[in-house]
Every structure is written in structure tokens, then in C-alpha cells.
A and B are shown apart, each in its own frame.
Chain A
């Protein structure tokens, strides 16, 4: 057993982190929220160059994957920097098409996803969300209903989310792309992949919330001392760290299980999803509290992370659904 990231995986994480830090994601997030997707798409291309989307695409369609562990690494870094856009959904579409068993359809879309040309979104109507994330900004919106998958023709009005950079909308109309018995299983697999990378994203989000809050607590002075010397503050931050530290191995093990086609992968993913999202939400609450009114200020970038944490909690598997799945026989 070697339950640690190897050198190459760590280097990949570091290089993505460096690239995203330099890219100044808060401005990209704010533009995306305001409907200007150009900076987001530019960043998307750079993520594609770094190989992020290729990790979800099999080799015969110009990809490198599927590599769930590396995808988890990438999404943790993207979460760390609160990258906007249908990242999870695009990767889920790749997972769906990979399992669809329709080579013609796969050959059209998968290479385009791997290269970053196509940003896709996904709506599994049998699932509990009627929305596709960023349907307006995506190049293709896939809608699964029963044993059919269609490409949406349009989308309804954007429903503002708790996270202004998430722009869900109902997909409308469209033509059936494929109708086959494999659709349901492929959709289930796509939902698993989506839940896994959402968990990884939440973990990264939580890491940033904690790191920024620790920095703040070391600088901000009240009563003549830095607030980080108050025990209540320290203990809240310690709890945030504990929650994140114990969520991380669940996310990694879920990715390992998925990579190994382990029949228990779904359960591991559900455990990872609920735990990572709860940890991120708790980190967000702590970050807000310890930043005081500064944390409550929309202009202050921390708000971008705080608001995303809440939105991810119910995306791709509510806490209740995840817990039920953990106990499913």
C-alpha cells in the first residue's frame, strides 16, 4: 500500500496551483458572474493545455485517461482558486460519453473536450436537479432522460445561485443524440464522477478558506493582540483543519476505488462528497466569523469562496442522498 500522491502527481498539483495563482482567478470569477465569459474561456484553454480535461477522456479519443486520482488532484487545485465554469459538468459529460458505447458520438465530442475547445454541461433529469450549470456559456448541453440523451437546443432563464459565478438554467428542447440501454448506466457513472470531482473541488475551496483565515488571524489586531492568539479563534481554526484533513483521504480513496472499478466506489464517493462538502461549509462559516464584517463584504474576495462552498453542498448529491447511499446494502 502506498496511500500517498506520487512525485508526479504532486508536481502536477503544484504547477496548476502556480498557474492559477498567477492567473488571478478572482477577477475571472467576477467577470463570469457578470456574464462575461471571455476571461473564463481563456483560463479554460490554459487548463486544457495543462491536460486537465484530457484526464477525463480515454486515450483513443485524444485523452490521457480516465484518471480519477489525477482528476481529483486537478479539481482540488481548481477549487483552491475558485475557478468558475462548468468544469465538473464537462468532465461528467466525458465520463458519460466514455460509457455510452456509441463510438460515433464519442468521436465527435471527446477530442473536443480533451483539447478544451468544448465546454459542456450536463443535466440528468432522473436525478434531483432540473438544471444544467452554465448552460448559457457551454458549447453543448447534454440532457439524459430515461434511455435517451439529447443535445439541448436552448436554455431557460438563469436562476441566480448562492454562488453568483454558478449560473444554472433549465435546458430546453433539442434532438435525441442516442437512445440505447447503456444510457442509464453511463449517466450513473457520470454522476459518480461529478460527485467525486465536486468533493475534490470543495476540499480545495476549504483549504483556501482556512489558509486565508489563518493569515488574517495572524495579522488582525484587537485588544492589543493578534486575534489568532485568542483560544476560541484558534480552536475554531483547529476544527476546520481537522475536518479538512479527514475529508482528504476519503476523496483520494474514492478516486482510487473508481480507478480500480471497485464495486464499492459509489459508496466511497458518496462518503467523500458529503464529508468534503461539510468540511468546506464549516470552513466557510469559520472564515466568515473570523474575518468579521470583512468576511461579510462582497467586494472582498473571500466571499467568492464562501458562496461557492454553500452551492457545492447540494450539487451532485445532497448530504442526505450521500448518507443514504453510504448505508445502501
Chain B
């Protein structure tokens, strides 16, 4: 049992740190949830990928470095410690790519991954529908067979950054006759489509903080060729479920961002908190401990994977933990900021590079997206503790 990194891993860390030290923009980029910020972040993705830092864990042929899971964690630690920008490509890299690695054809990998790595094609996730959130399998959008492909119709919603993204991936119900209410998971197909295709209407909707990158999508007989189906038609649920593990688990939220935020929080606390306020001090300590716990839990998981284990239902533990930690961290920071805690990140006098304010608003969504925490607790209780299924 040890926590030591190998010489190669330390060298990898040093290389990443040196690169980031010279490349991370001195001034923060505008929010990636705005049009202006989106293109600035796209440019940053290109900078990252030019030196093959955008997808370090991918094979080299697709723009990666073939980094191990530990090296990936190291990279993420360095990335967030350096204060580097949020990743506008995250839906593609964290959700679609792992699915393609598992279920995609060689042709799909070769066609889709390199422009994803370079930020030339930015992906949105089109899963949720107005009537299908937690109960995703109840979705109604359809994919109807046509010559050489499929025609997509219906409505998707809450699609992050879809207002500015290039393409989307989502689940669609196949042959209408197939829709047995008792088996909603059957007959779904996983497809990719361009957001500027004929028949697609993208309507931006403001997020809680009003930023306009969120969107709903209206699809009206949108043609998708067969080559853009992932996995077998009708097997979309199984394909999609391999993605959700990634979404909740390791790849969506690496510990680096929480350890870096905890370090910033401690600096904020040291720089002028009332030393007599032990309640606030305890919250700062809990955030530090929580970030460390999450890091160590992840190291243990990575060690298990390195020893041949697989990611399972324990990703639900991660999801609940990081989302609650994220809120606690940001709420504590806002309380430390006192009267400045209410300022939004666009306020001229917003403190600490404004990132606490935007980070706070975003943290509030954590218990909702990627499967709500209520659903995750059901999964934990049923699959990890063996309790019976109750009424849903």
C-alpha cells in the first residue's frame, strides 16, 4: 500500500506543469456559457491539442498521449492547480468518446475523435426531454428508418452549451410499434447528428444565472446516415448506460478541481477571515478534508482499475459526494467573501477572479444533472447495499 508516484509519473507531472505554466491564459477567459466565451474556449482547446494535452488518456493516433489513468489524474491535478480554463469539450470527451471507445466502429473512431480532440467539433449531449428527465427511458423522440439512415423527430432539452456546439448525441425510440410501455428500455437507438442540420431548431434557454448556452432542440425529420448510429440499432439503452458510469464517475469530475478549489479556499480564509469564527473555520476544514477524501477515494479506485478491476455502481458514490462537496466548498467561499459574496462574476469588483460566483451557480446544478442524487442514492441502496427495489 503506497501513495508514491513512479519516476515516469513524476516526469509526466513536471512536463504538464511546465507546459501549463507558460500556456495558461494570464487573464481568465469569459464564461464558456456565453457566445464570446465559447469561442475563446474553443481556441484554448486548439492550444491544448496542438501539444497533445487535450485528451491525454486517448491513444496517440487520435491525438492523445496514451496516458495511464494515474497520469490522467496527475494531469488534471496540474491543470486545475494552474487555474486553467474550464473544458468546453467536456461532453464529447467525457461522455461520447468513452462510448465510442466501447461501442464505436473503427471508421467512427477515426472520423469523430480527432476533430473532437482539437476542438474543431464540439459536442452536446441530447438525452433529456421535457417529459423524460430522471426517467430517461420514457423518452419519446423517434428515429424512423429511411433509405440509408434515419429520420429524427421530437424535442430534446436542457442540453448544455448546445446553443453554440456543433453536433449532438442522443437516444431515440425506434419503430413506434415497438413501444411496449412495460419495457421502455427496449427499442432505443443511439445516434449522432449535426446541430445545423436541416430540420434542427436550437432555442437557447438561460441557465439559473441567465447565461445563454443551455438549449432546447426541436427535431423535425432530421436525416442521419447509418454510419452515425452508435452500436446496434435498438440497443441504445445498453450503449448509453456505459456512458453514464463515466458521467458520474471518474472522468466527469476528477479530484484535481476540488483539491485546487480547496487550496484557493484556504488561501481566501487565511487572507482575512475572522479568527474567532470557528464555525466558518470548521467549514473550511471540512472542504479541505472532503477534497482530500475524494482524491484518495479516486486513487483507490484507480489502483483497483490498474489491478484489473472495473468501474461499477460505486460511481454513484462519487456523484453524490462530489456534487455535495462542490456546493459546500463554494458556499463557504461566498460566506468568506462577506459583502462581496453576492456579486456575480461579471461585476467589475467581483473578487477572486470572479470564479467563486460562477462556480457557485454551477455547483448548484451538480445534484441535478448526471442523474439526480435521489436516483444515485437509489442505485447505491439497491446495487451496493442490496436493498429491494421500491416504487419509482
* A4 close to B303 (CB less than 8 A): yes
A271 and B292 contact, Cβ closer than 8 Å, known pairs A3-B3, A324-B281: yes
* B377 close to A250 (CB less than 8 A): no
Report the Cα distance A64→B179, complex, angstroms: 66
Residues of A within 8 A of B376 (CB): 238
* B281 close to A323 (CB less than 8 A): yes
* A9 close to B378 (CB less than 8 A): no
Partner among B5, B289, B384 whose Cβ is within 8 Å of the Cβ of A1: B5
Report the Cα distance A225→B390, complex, angstroms: 9
A226-278 interface with B by 8 A CB criterion: 226, 228-231, 233-235, 237-239, 241-242, 245-247, 249-250, 252-253, 256, 268, 271, 274-275
Interface status of B88 (Cβ within 8 A of chain A): no
Question: How close is A12's CB to chain B, nearest CB, in angstroms?
Answer: 12
A3 and B2 contact, Cβ closer than 8 Å, known pairs A234-B377, A327-B281: yes
**1/0 per position for B305-349, CB-CB distance to A under 8 A?**
011000000100100110000000000000000000000000000
Report the Cα distance A320→B293, complex, angstroms: 18
B266-299 interface with A by 8 A CB criterion: 266, 269, 278, 281-282, 284-286, 288-290, 292-294, 296-297, 299
**1/0 per position for B1-34, CB-CB distance to A under 8 A?**
1111110010000000000000000000000000
* B1 close to A230 (CB less than 8 A): no
B352-392 interface with A by 8 A CB criterion: 374, 376-378, 380-382, 384-391
* B293 close to A238 (CB less than 8 A): no
* B296 close to A3 (CB less than 8 A): yes
Interface residues on A, range: 35 or more
Interface status of B145 (Cβ within 8 A of chain A): no
Partner among B285, B292, B388 whose Cβ is within 8 Å of the Cβ of A327: B285
* A246 close to B293 (CB less than 8 A): yes
* B303 close to A238 (CB less than 8 A): no
Tell me the nearest residue of chain B to A72, going by C-beta.
Answer: B1
* B299 close to A3 (CB less than 8 A): yes
* B289 close to A271 (CB less than 8 A): yes
Partner among A230, A238, A323 whose Cβ is within 8 Å of the Cβ of B377: A238
Question: How close is B302's CB to chain A, nearest CB, in angstroms?
Answer: 8
Interface status of A212 (Cβ within 8 A of chain B): no
Interface status of B241 (Cβ within 8 A of chain A): no
* A249 close to B300 (CB less than 8 A): yes
* B292 close to A250 (CB less than 8 A): yes
* A256 close to B284 (CB less than 8 A): no
Question: How close is A275's CB to chain B, nearest CB, in angstroms?
Answer: 6
Interface status of A5 (Cβ within 8 A of chain B): yes
Interface status of B111 (Cβ within 8 A of chain A): no
* A217 close to B387 (CB less than 8 A): yes
Question: How close is A138's CB to chain B, nearest CB, in angstroms?
Answer: 32
The interface residues of chain A, by DSSP majority, are classed as helix
Residues of A within 8 A of B299 (CB): 1, 3, 249
Interface status of B81 (Cβ within 8 A of chain A): no
Interface status of B198 (Cβ within 8 A of chain A): no
* A228 close to B288 (CB less than 8 A): no
* B381 close to A327 (CB less than 8 A): no
A235 and B388 contact, Cβ closer than 8 Å, known pairs A1-B4, A1-B303, A3-B3: no
Interface status of B70 (Cβ within 8 A of chain A): yes
* B385 close to A214 (CB less than 8 A): yes
A136-192 interface with B by 8 A CB criterion: none
* B286 close to A229 (CB less than 8 A): no
Interface status of A218 (Cβ within 8 A of chain B): yes
* B293 close to A214 (CB less than 8 A): no
Partner among B289, B300, B382, B386 whose Cβ is within 8 Å of the Cβ of A4: B300
Report the Cα distance A253→B5, complex, angstroms: 14
Residues of B within 8 A of A229 (CB): 387-391
Tell me the nearest residue of chain A to B388, going by C-beta.
Answer: A229
* B285 close to A231 (CB less than 8 A): no
Residues of A within 8 A of B297 (CB): 245-246, 249
Report the Cα distance A51→B3, complex, angstroms: 25
**1/0 per position for A1-39, CB-CB distance to B under 8 A?**
111111001000000000000000000000000000000
Question: How close is A246's CB to chain B, nearest CB, in angstroms?
Answer: 4
Tell me the nearest residue of chain A to B285, going by C-beta.
Answer: A323
Residues of A within 8 A of B5 (CB): 1
* A326 close to B3 (CB less than 8 A): no
A275 and B388 contact, Cβ closer than 8 Å, known pairs A249-B299, A320-B282: no
Tell me the nearest residue of chain B to A257, going by C-beta.
Answer: B3
* B269 close to A253 (CB less than 8 A): no
A1 and B70 contact, Cβ closer than 8 Å, known pairs A217-B387, A253-B3: yes
Residues of B within 8 A of A82 (CB): none
Sampled A-B contacts (16; CB under 8 Å): A1-B2, A1-B303, A218-B387, A225-B390, A228-B387, A229-B389, A238-B380, A238-B385, A245-B297, A249-B293, A249-B297, A249-B299, A268-B292, A274-B289, A275-B289, A327-B266
List 6 A-B pairs, minimum CB-CB distance, nearest first: A234-B381, A249-B296, A323-B285, A238-B380, A229-B390, A238-B377
Chain A residues within CB distance 8 Å of chain B: 1-6, 9, 69, 210, 214, 217-218, 225-226, 228-231, 233-235, 237-239, 241-242, 245-247, 249-250, 252-253, 256, 268, 271, 274-275, 319-320, 322-324, 326-327
A1-B3, A252-B300 known; 10 other A-B pairs, CB under 8 Å?
Answer: A1-B2, A3-B2, A9-B1, A218-B387, A218-B388, A235-B374, A235-B378, A242-B321, A253-B296, A323-B281
